[in-house]
Amino acid sequence: MNSTRDLEALIEMMAKLPGLGPRSARRAVLHMIRKRELLLTPLADLMQQVAVTARECLNCGNIGTTDICDICASEKRANGLICVVEDVADLWAMERTAMFKGRYHVLGGTLSALDQIGPEQLRIPKLLDRVQSENISEVILALNATVDGQTTAHYIADQLEDRVTLTSLAQGVPIGGELDYLDDGTISAALNARKAL
Amino acid sequence: MNSTRDLEALIEMMAKLPGLGPRSARRAVLHMIRKRELLLTPLADLMQQVAVTARECLNCGNIGTTDICDICASEKRANGLICVVEDVADLWAMERTAMFKGRYHVLGGTLSALDQIGPEQLRIPKLLDRVQSENISEVILALNATVDGQTTAHYIADQLEDRVTLTSLAQGVPIGGELDYLDDGTISAALNARKAL
């Protein structure tokens, strides 16, 4: 159809977003067209803007609109702590807790022999530089508890041994978690790391 | 945070789309930024375009980029049949089957005393006009099998009585449907409308 070519194209494009399929993309597009002034136009403008301004922080790999992200730019965050995460989404998750007052380093993935991803592809050299230049005292390895994640953590630990204190996130029962639904590994980890009340 | 203000705004806006929440909106935005040339920029451009060009067909209420949609514009579709649907999404669903060769009329909702939605709010007068002007022989009421939908169907049927043939979609067991999972109403309807093999 000619008069709906743009619509079809928009729906097709929306359907490529994670979490959206053809059906939900159609729903979303119709919803946006109904709320043109409130949703469609501002959303389009914001996307245009972000497409131009979004960039990775040259220091830590966080995504923002400046060459050096606010966290790296802020002197307050220079407390000798670096939290190493796989992905920007992990960084944002940490930030939402507002518990961590140090800086971050986003690897951008995990080591993987299969996908030929080595230290150079992962901003690991940059991390080693930063440990020197920002005289870091502790590196928190907040990598996912997957095989690749832990392999990467071990590699980094080897590189930084006896240069800084290395820590990792505690493992155990998640808040609100029910033992019955937890895997054996998590339960044993929580049991080994049990603490006195 | 200053350097992520645009990102936050974009995520917030995306989270307003049906089917997306804060978490999936974050995932979608990160995905778009990673695929900037392939996804973010073209998506923004398409949205800009649709925001400007999208409009309702003055004749049937279908959404397109022209004052009269392709279906109403095409003489091939003028076969004396009009299929009345609640919503544009329903029209698109019908079109995907490519079974119906007539034209459509989108009511834009259903009669509802509570929400003070009467015939005037629903493009029903326009439907009555079209039955005359496009000398329609049959009106297919393809409204949802909800209470409001059926109320609306009855109202339209009253208006058009003895002026055209009125039909509605057959009710029965959906293709691939399992009796065990169907409601009693559907099963009885299918039983009453049983046909000889």
Q: Can you tell me the distance from the alpha carbon of B14 to that of B91, in angstroms, rounded to the nearest whole number? A: 26
Residues of chain B positioned with their CB less than 8 A from the CB of A54: 6-7, 33, 36
Q: Please tell me the predicted confidence (pLDDT) of residue B195.
A: 85
Q: Can you tell me the distance from the alpha carbon of B83 to that of B91, in angstroms, rounded to the nearest whole number? A: 9
**What's the distance, CA A87 to chain centroid?**
3
pLDDT tens-digit readout, B83-96: 999 999 999 999 99
Q: Torsions phi, psi of A149, nearest 5?
A: -60, -45
Structure tokens at B67: 């004052």
Mean of the pLDDT values across residues A30-46? 94
The DSSP secondary-structure symbol of A112 reads B
Considering only the beta carbons, identify the residue of B18, B41, B73 that sits closest to A51. B41
Complete DSSP assignment for B74-86: -GGG-SSEEEEES
Considering only the beta carbons, identify the residue of B10, B27, B53 that sits closest to A6. B53
Q: Please tell me the predicted confidence (pLDDT) of residue B16.
A: 94
Contacts of residue B133, Cβ cutoff 8 Å, sequence gap at least 6: none
Strand partners, A187: none
- State how far the alpha carbon of B142 is from the alpha carbons of A10, B32, B73, B145, in Å: 27, 38, 22, 9
The proportion of chain A whose per-residue pLDDT surpasses 90, expressed as a percent, equals: 69
Q: Please tell me the predicted confidence (pLDDT) of residue B89.
A: 92
- State how far the alpha carbon of A64 is from the alpha carbons of A67, B16, B103, in Å: 8, 22, 49
Give the distance from residue A56's alpha carbon to the nearest chain B alpha carbon, in angstroms: 10
The DSSP secondary-structure symbol of A61 reads -
Question: Poorest-confidence range of A58-62, A150-154, A170-174?
Answer: A170-174
Structure tokens at B33: 């930024």
- State how far the alpha carbon of A146 is from the alpha carbons of A116, A120, A149, A159, A193, in Å: 18, 21, 5, 20, 19
The sign of the CA dihedral B161, B167, B169, B173 is positive
Helix (H) / strand (E) element for B29: namely helix B22-34
Q: Can you tell me the distance from the alpha carbon of B80 to that of B72, in angstroms, rounded to the nearest whole number? A: 12
Least Cα distance to B29 among A18, A58, A185 occurs for A18
Mean of the pLDDT values across residues A58-67? 92
Q: Can you tell me the distance from the alpha carbon of A98 to that of A109, in angstroms, rounded to the nearest whole number? A: 23
A170: number of Cβ within 10 Å: 9
pLDDT under 50: residue ranges of chain B: 1
Q: What is the ipTM of this complex?
A: 0.85
Helix (H) / strand (E) element for B95: namely helix B88-97
CB contact under 8 A, A54 and B65: no
Least Cα distance to B56 among B41, B69, B44 occurs for B69
Least Cα distance to B109 among B84, B85, B86, B143 occurs for B86
Number of CB pairs, chain A paired with chain B, less than 8 A apart: 160
Instruction: For chain B, positions 108-167, list CB contacts with chain A under 8 A.
Output: none
Helix (H, G, I), strand (E, B) or coil at B117: strand
Instruction: For chain A, positions 51-110, list CB contacts with chain B under 8 A.
Output: 51, 53-54, 63-66, 69-70, 73, 87-89, 92
A194 pLDDT above the threshold of 90: no
**What's the distance, CA B96 to chain centroid?**
12
Q: Please tell me the predicted confidence (pLDDT) of residue A2.
A: 64
User: Per the confidence metrics, is the pTM higher than 0.90?
Assistant: no
CB contact under 8 A, A46 and B17: no
Which of the two residues, B84 and A185, has the higher pLDDT score? B84
Give the distance from residue B132's alpha carbon to the nearest chain A alpha carbon, in angstroms: 26
Q: Please tell me the predicted confidence (pLDDT) of residue A162.
A: 86
Least Cα distance to B160 among B183, B130, B187 occurs for B130
CB contact under 8 A, A13 and B69: no
Mean of the pLDDT values across residues A7-21? 93
Confidence label for A192 from pLDDT (cuts 50, 70 and 90): confident
Q: Please tell me the predicted confidence (pLDDT) of residue A151.
A: 92
Structure tokens at B100: 């119906």
pLDDT tens-digit readout, A102-138: 999 999 999 988 889 998 889 999 999 999 999 899 9
Structure tokens at B147: 């209470």
CB contact under 8 A, A13 and B44: no
Residue A42 near residue B48 (C-beta atoms within 8 A): no
Q: Please tell me the predicted confidence (pLDDT) of residue B135.
A: 87
Residues of chain B positioned with their CB less than 8 A from the CB of A63: 4, 7, 30, 33
Mean of the pLDDT values across residues A158-178? 89
Complete DSSP assignment for A114-175: TTTB-GGGGTHHHHHHHHHHTT-SEEEE---SSHHHHHHHHHHHHHHTTTSEEEE---SPPT
Least Cα distance to A110 among A125, A99, A121 occurs for A121
Compute and round to an integer the Cα radius of gyration of chain B.
Answer: 21
Q: Please tell me the predicted confidence (pLDDT) of residue A178.
A: 86
The DSSP secondary-structure symbol of A41 reads H
B35: number of Cβ within 10 Å: 15
Residue A86 near residue A144 (C-beta atoms within 8 A): yes
